[in-house]
Amino acid sequence: MSCFTQVSITPSIHIPPNSNYNNPKSHHRKQTITLLQKCKNVNQITPIHSNVIKNGQQHDQFIIFEFLRVCSKCDAIDYTLKIFQQTQYPNVFLYTALIDGLVFSGLYSHGIRIYVEMIENFIFPDNFVISSVLKACVIGLDLRMGREVHTQAIKLGFCSNRSVRLKLMELYGKNREFEDMKRVFDEMPERDDVALTVMISSYLDHELLSRASNIFDMVKVKDTVCWTVMIDGLVRNGKMNKALEYFRQMQREAVRANEVTVVCVLSACSQLGALELGKWIHSYIENYDLKINHFVGSALINMYSRCGSIDEAERVFKTMKDREVSTYNSMIMGFALNGKSLNAVELFQRMIEEGTKPTNITFVGVLTACSHGGLVDFGFEIFQSMQIDHCIEPQIEHYGCIVDLLGRVGRVKEAYKFIQNMKVMPDYIIWGSFLNACKIHKKFELGDHAAKILLNHGYTDTGTYVLVSNFYSSFGKYEEALLVRSKLKESDLEKEPGCSSIEVNNEIHEFFLGDIRHPQKKEIYKKLVEMEKRLRFEGYYPQLDVVSQDIMDHEKERALAIHSERLAICYGLISTEPLSTIRIVKNLRVCSDCHTMIKLVSKITNRKIIMRDRNRFHHFENGSCSCADYW
């Protein structure tokens, strides 16, 4: 039975006779509240609390309200609860402050329980506390309790309140109860653009992009929040190009972006490798005096790092005053992905010396750097320090970095032994990394064992099938490779096609294997043939074992020649200025033949070619690569 049906509520707030609640503010009260509002941490709050008790103000509910609010802001929720528990006759305002603090601290279910306690104590709710408890239900996805609060709000006549209506729409939208969400909206006296924004956000949360777009078009006055919600939702749903289109439209309509907007757009630029647009966003931030806090700064570092402009990322990092662990994490991972492994390790060490406490993500970044740089000793030292020095239990990602590290340097048997002794069960990523190491370092028996584990233990997604098939074909085991590919066809899973993109004149151009859709396809393929001839003259010969199919050699050569990254590079060669850098983003791991080919292309064209594949960045220059063939 609902707690609300057990308790009869009377519309009265009990205020004790000796309360100062309705008296004019005394000098002491003003002074105390002013001091509290300046507090930054709980250590500054406790002496003020002592003075309040000495001065006999511990029952002044104005002061108690400010204590609850400031303690919550200072992330001292335990102290908040102690103050509340010592309060005589708490009123609805104090309950609201406490529930807000609990929600702010992530204790949603506790906030709901406090509301129930308030009702059981016959404290009459108002629209503010209803909004607060609904917020707890929204974030905690507690639909059952949210419906009960809705019923309570109807009985008490609070559903006409705009804030309550918006929270109810959020509640139903978050829980996919779209009919109820629409019903609450339809009951509003007039169309509310903020309510429409709530609907847009709800549809985007559940990947209903067309519905969100239709509602977005209905909004007459689209403010910064509305645009940001739409852009953020598209980014979260993987529609990066669409998100950038909306941002450009936002600029055409002269709507000013805020810090949240630029973080969303920078995320899209990071995913697409759209460096030029990312640079423009950086200029926008500076021109409109947006604050480069740790959120915006980390987004800028990520954008530059993931567009292969690591020097610019480091420049942003060095100029930032507001650095937190997330800022360090972004820079460390940026170094790791761009082949600057020693820089990542050095920054990690400096971070520890400066007193910034590392997180799980920090260790993923620095261990990835060790893996990509072949820094075995550093890697094991850092891995062991997680528990010993920082009391962080290694997770599956950290174990995976060590397996990858050992595999890359050819210590395959040691990697296998490490897997066997792990404290957690290895997942498909670890076995896949190990299998790839077996393929590179020609360890068939161990690789065959890993392949069978991947196929027989429910790890069979498209990437797994392709990885196992390529492993067998690399050893000339074409029958086994064919059998694996047959299983892939039977599974009805679709293989992710290789796609490479390049940004030219602020536009993203995408290419697939053998793509003939581009308007300049004739020029692209002409350049492809020309480059093939020059490469052969330089001694290049295709690595036919990369092709997993059992086909004729000339067919294998043709298959390699039309890989998506080659088409993207040829487009870059014909559409950008001589000697300028070409930047490519590929959704899959670059194959060893293309890797060799691109090194030669960088040499014969005197171009720097930066490629981001699924694993890392490759900076090709004058015939060599930054990865030193550790990829």
Give residue 550's pLDDT.
62
Give residue 390's pLDDT.
94
Give residue 590's pLDDT.
87
- Residues with Cβ within 8 Å of residue 33, at least 6 apart in sequence: 62, 63, 66
Cα 172 → chain centroid? 25
- Model pTM score: 0.79
Question: Which residues are registered as beta bridge partners of 584?
Answer: 502, 611
Give residue 490's pLDDT.
79
CATH 1.25.40 domain span(s) along the chain: 1-12+25-158, 398-490
Which stretch of DSSP H or E encloses residue 618? strand 617-621
9 CB neighbour count, 10 Å cutoff: 15
Here the contacts of 423-432 (C-beta below 8 Å, separation 24 or greater) are: 423/394, 424/395, 424/396, 424/399, 426/396, 426/399, 427/396, 427/400, 427/459, 428/454, 428/459, 428/461, 428/464, 429/396, 429/400, 430/396, 430/399, 430/400, 430/403, 431/459, 432/459, 432/463, 432/464, 432/467
CATH class of 1-12+25-158: mainly alpha
Give residue 539's pLDDT.
87
CATH class of 398-490: mainly alpha
Give residue 631's pLDDT.
63
Cα 185 → chain centroid? 31
Give residue 542's pLDDT.
82
> How many Cα atoms occupy the beta-carbon half-sphere of 362 within 13 Å?
24
Whether 275 and 309 have beta carbons less than 8 Å apart is answered as yes
Give residue 213's pLDDT.
95
pLDDT < 50 stretches in the chain: 1-22, 24-25
| Alpha-carbon span 407 to 516, nearest angstrom | 38
| β-bridge pairing 617-621 and 609-612 | antiparallel
